[in-house]
Copies of this chain bind each other. A is one copy, B any other.
Amino acid sequence: MSSWLEKIKWNEKELVPVIVQEVETKQILMHAWMNRDALKQTYESGKATYWSRSREKIWVKGEKSGHYQFVESILTDCDYDVLLINVRQKGGIACHTGRHRCFFNKLTDKNWLESGEILKNPKDIYGK
C-alpha cells in the first residue's frame, strides 16, 4: 500500500471517520467511514467512496441514486485519524431520507426537532 495511505491512523477496525463538507455552501452533508481501499478509490476516481459498516462493503456514494459526490479536496487532521473531504453533491441530495444533508435534527428544549425539506421521496431515489 502507498505510504500516504499508511500515514493515516486507522482505528481498530481499520477505518477512519470522514466528514463530508459541501464546497459551495460549506454545509456538512454527512459523516461516513472509509477503509484503505475506499480512500484509495476516492482519490483515484474523484468520486466519494465509503465503507458501509452495516453492509460491510465498499460503497460508491450515488451508485444507486445517481447522487454522486465529486471530490475537490481531501484533508486530514493533526492526529491523522479523521478525514475531511470537500465535495460537489450531484442532485443536491446527500441524505437517504431525500434531504440535502443528514444533519437535520436540532436539539431544542431537550428535544430533537426535525427540519430540512424532503426534496425527493426515498422511494423515487432508490426504488421500492
Are A102 and B74 interface neighbours, CB within 8 A? no
Asked, given contacts A17-B17, A19-B19, A31-B82, whether A4 binds B77 with beta carbons under 8 Å apart, the answer is no
Are B73 and A106 interface neighbours, CB within 8 A? yes
Count residues of chain A with CB under 8 A from any CB of chain B.
36
Cβ–Cβ < 8 Å partners of A84 in chain B: 28, 31, 103
Asked, given contacts A76-B103, A78-B95, A106-B75, whether A112 binds B21 with beta carbons under 8 Å apart, the answer is no
Copies per assembly: 2
Cβ–Cβ < 8 Å partners of A112 in chain B: 4, 7, 76, 80
CA distance A27 to B103 in the complex (A): 16
Whole-angstrom distance between the Cβ of A43 and the nearest chain B Cβ: 7
* Beta-carbon nearest neighbor of A42 in chain B: B107
Whole-angstrom distance between the Cβ of A24 and the nearest chain B Cβ: 11
**A-B contact sample (5 more), CB < 8 A, given A75-B105, A77-B102:** A19-B19, A26-B26, A78-B95, A78-B96, A78-B104
